A = this chain, B = another copy of it.
Amino acid sequence: MTTDFKQQTTVTLAEVAEAAGVGESTVSRVLRNHGSFSGKARERVLDAVERLGYVPNRIAGTLASAGSRLVAFVIPSLTNIVFPDVLRGAGAVLEENRYQAVFSVTDYEPEREEALVAAMLAWRPTAVMLAGFEHTEGTLKMLRASGCRVVELLDIDGTAIDLAVGFSNREAGRASAEFLLKRGYRRIGYVGHDLGRDTRAGKRFEGFREALNLAGVPLVDREIRAGASSVGSGRAGLEQLLRRAPGLDAVYFSNDDMALGGYFHCLARTIPVPTRLALFGHNGLDIGQATPQPLTTIRTPRVATGKLAAELVINDHPSHVADLGFELIEGATA
């Protein structure tokens, strides 16, 4: 219960050099295994490092050498498992290459994104990773002026600043509609969360409506819930929608969380799925495939997106838009 351990044990490279009886640059070379040095020098340095418990100061190292090996993630949410999945994919690759991930969360607010990007740039990251293409003018300007790599994630429908990795949400929406139409559903509704903020969900919905229009099938009704997506919101949303439009035979949800909520509503009210009502989600979360009836949905390349994004940055790949595609899971709810 004391704080007496809190003594900055600032062992510096100079002290290691002193203790090892070599010059500072030799210590630096040995530690980074770069440049040339004798076996004996190496031994003495490593010995001194061990004895003194030296931990290199990357702050100083970065300042002296430019490259920060810091990658900044500015993501909308940690609650929506989509983003932790991307972080996970990127994290593994970054770590192998001795990069460090820094992050902050925008809550889907473009103004917060701008502020957070500004804060991130102060760390001179190698790259900044953002969700999608919709940013404020200020964000764009800063990013372009920064000289660091920019990766826009989970979207390819738009104009990239530099790199973009993801899939077409618009196409995903279209594919979802086409599947429902092919299965013969004609009285179709939609349950979504706040689309103004989650622009990728908005693009899916647009693609979905486009395909319906093309087939001359009207969207019967829609229920847009305020706030973020969640299972609870999906459940309440479907209940609300069915109250207004009891004759629906299929519902498209803004994502799997919402769709799972819808599925639970059906279970609770013993609405037969899909015979009486079909449900279609988006993301292909594991949990949606473990329910009594696996969810009909689209599996998105979240981990792969993070992984590729990190690889492109590490290899300093030229500007590029990478489409990782998606996969329709037929499931049992549609």
A142–B79 CA distance with the chains assembled, in angstroms: 32
Of the candidates B59, B84, B292, the one whose C-beta lies within 8 Å of that of A267 is B292
CB distance from A58 to the nearest CB of B (A): 4
**When each residue 284-297 of chain A gets 1 if its CB lies under 8 Å from chain B and 0 otherwise, what string results?**
00110111100000
Q: Tell me, yes or no, whether A149 is within 8 Å of chain B by CB.
A: yes
Are A123 and B147 neighbours in the complex by a CB distance under 8 Å?
A: no
A320–B320 CA distance with the chains assembled, in angstroms: 50
CB distance from A162 to the nearest CB of B (A): 7
Contacts of A281 in B (CB 8 A): none
Q: Tell me, yes or no, whether A214 is within 8 Å of chain B by CB.
A: no
**When each residue 112-133 of chain A gets 1 if its CB lies under 8 Å from chain B and 0 otherwise, what string results?**
0000101111111000000000
Q: A60-B63, A91-B104, A147-B9 are in contact. Are A3 and B79 (CB under 8 A)?
A: no
Contacts of A319 in B (CB 8 A): 1-3
CB distance from A217 to the nearest CB of B (A): 30
Q: A121-B55, A162-B5 are in contact. Are A100 and B101 (CB under 8 A)?
A: no
**When each residue 135-150 of chain A gets 1 if its CB lies under 8 Å from chain B and 0 otherwise, what string results?**
0000001101111010
Of the candidates B63, B66, B261, B320, the one whose C-beta lies within 8 Å of that of A63 is B63
A7–B10 CA distance with the chains assembled, in angstroms: 35
Of the candidates B10, B101, B232, B292, the one whose C-beta lies within 8 Å of that of A104 is B101
**When each residue 144-177 of chain A gets 1 if its CB lies under 8 Å from chain B and 0 otherwise, what string results?**
1111010000000000001000000000000000
Are B55 and A118 neighbours in the complex by a CB distance under 8 Å?
A: yes
A56–B120 CA distance with the chains assembled, in angstroms: 11
Q: Tell me, yes or no, whether A88 is within 8 Å of chain B by CB.
A: yes
CB distance from A234 to the nearest CB of B (A): 8
Are A123 and B289 neighbours in the complex by a CB distance under 8 Å?
A: no
Are B292 and A122 neighbours in the complex by a CB distance under 8 Å?
A: no
**When each residue 49-67 of chain A gets 1 if its CB lies under 8 Å from chain B and 0 otherwise, what string results?**
0000101111110110010
Closest CB pairs A-B (n = 8): A268-B292, A78-B84, A58-B122, A231-B290, A8-B147, A231-B287, A232-B290, A267-B292
